[in-house]
Amino acid sequence: MSIILDHVTYTYSEKTAYEIKALDDVSLSIKDGEFIGIIGHTGSGKSTLVQHLNGLLRATSGTIYYNGQDIYDKDFNLKNMRTKVGMVFQYPEHQLFETTVFEDVKYGPKNQGLSDKEATNRAYDALADVNFPDEYFDQSPFELSGGQKRRAAIAGVLAMEPEVLILDEPTAGLDPKGQRDILNLIRRMHESSGRTIILVSHSMEDVAEYVDRIIVMDEGRVFLDGAPDYVFSHTDLLEEKGLAVPQVTYLMEELRAKGIPIEGQPTTLEMAEKEILRLHKAGVF
Amino acid sequence: MKSMINAKQLTHEFFRRDEEGNVEGISVALDHVDLDVAPGAFIAILGHNGSGKSTLAKHINALLTPSEGTLLVDGMDVSDPERTLSIRESAGMVFQNPDNQIIATVVEEDVGFGPENMGIPTDEIWQRVESALKGVGMWKYREHSPNRLSGGQKQRVAIAGVMAMEPKCIILDEPTAMLDPGGRAEVLQVAHELNRKKGITIILITHYMEEVVDADYVYVMEKGHIIMDGTPREIFSRVDDLIAHRLTVPQITLLAHRLKAAGLDIPEGILTREELIKALCP
pLDDT digits (tens, 9 = 90+) for B9-53: 999 998 877 777 788 778 889 999 999 999 999 999 998 877 889
pLDDT digits (tens, 9 = 90+) for B241-276: 998 888 889 899 999 999 999 999 999 889 999 999
Asked if residue B266 and residue B194 are part of one domain, the reply reads no
pLDDT digits (tens, 9 = 90+) for B167-181: 999 999 988 877 777
Enclosing domain of residue A255: 246-285
* Domain presence at residue B71: no
pLDDT digits (tens, 9 = 90+) for A197-207: 999 998 899 99
* Domain presence at residue B157: yes
Residue A144 is classified by DSSP as S
* Domain presence at residue B27: no
- Residue B21, by phi and psi: left (phi above 0), alpha (psi -120 to 50) or beta? left
Q: What are the residues whose beta carbons fall under 8 Å from the beta carbon of B11, sequence distance 6 or more?
A: B28, B30, B31, B32, B33, B66, B67, B68, B69
* Domain presence at residue A268: yes
* Domain presence at residue B73: no
* Domain presence at residue A232: no
* Domain presence at residue A64: no
Residue A266 is classified by DSSP as -
**Per-residue pLDDT at A88:** 92
Enclosing domain of residue B166: 39-62+78-237
* Domain presence at residue A264: yes
* Domain presence at residue B23: no
Report yes or no: A243 and A46 within 8 Å, Cβ to Cβ. no
* Domain presence at residue A259: yes
Is the CB of B254 less than 8 angstroms away from the CB of A242? no
Confidence of residue A223 (pLDDT cuts 50, 70, 90): very high
* Domain presence at residue A1: no
* Domain presence at residue B131: yes
CA dihedral A54, A58, A59, A65 (to 10 degrees): 40
Our CA-based measurement puts residue A23 at a distance from the nearest CA of chain B, in whole angstroms, of: 15
Partner residue facing A41 (CB), from B174, B177, B182: B182
Confidence of residue B190 (pLDDT cuts 50, 70, 90): confident
Number of domains in chain B: 2
One-letter amino acid for residue B9 of the chain: Q
**Per-residue pLDDT at A12:** 87
Report the distance separating Cα B14 and Cα A47, nearest Å.
Answer: 37
One-letter amino acid for residue B38 of the chain: A
Asked if residue B87 and residue B192 are part of one domain, the reply reads yes
Our CA-based measurement puts residue A243 at a distance from the nearest CA of chain B, in whole angstroms, of: 5
Half-sphere exposure of A254 (CA within 13 A, CB side): 16
From residue A205, give the alpha-carbon distance in Å to each of A45, A211, A232, B216, B247: 21, 10, 11, 26, 16
Residue A176's φ and ψ, nearest 5 degrees, are -55, -40
Burial B164-196 (b: 16+ CB within 10 A, else e): bbbbbbbbbbbbbbbbbbbbbbbbbebbeebbe
Taking Cα atoms as reference points, which of B184, B223, B227, B237 lies closest to residue B207? B184
* Domain presence at residue B255: yes
Asked if residue B153 and residue B47 are part of one domain, the reply reads yes
ipTM above 0.85, yes or no: no
Average pLDDT, integer, range B233-247 = 91
Report yes or no: B258 and A268 within 8 Å, Cβ to Cβ. no
Is the CB of B49 less than 8 angstroms away from the CB of A178? yes
The DSSP secondary structure of B14-70, one letter per residue, reads EEEE-TTS-EEEEEEEEEEEEEEE-TT-EEEEEE-TTSSHHHHHHHHTTSS--SEEE
Per CB distance under 8 Å, which residues of A are interface residues toward B? 18, 39-43, 90, 145-147, 169, 172-180, 202, 204-205, 239, 241-244, 246-248, 250-251, 254-255, 258, 260, 269, 272-273, 276-277, 280, 285
pLDDT digits (tens, 9 = 90+) for B146-173: 887 876 788 789 889 998 998 999 999 9
* Domain presence at residue A171: no
pLDDT digits (tens, 9 = 90+) for B78-126: 999 999 999 998 999 988 777 777 888 999 999 999 999 889 999 999 9
Residues of A in contact with B277 (CB under 8 A): 251, 254-255, 258
Number of domains in chain A: 1
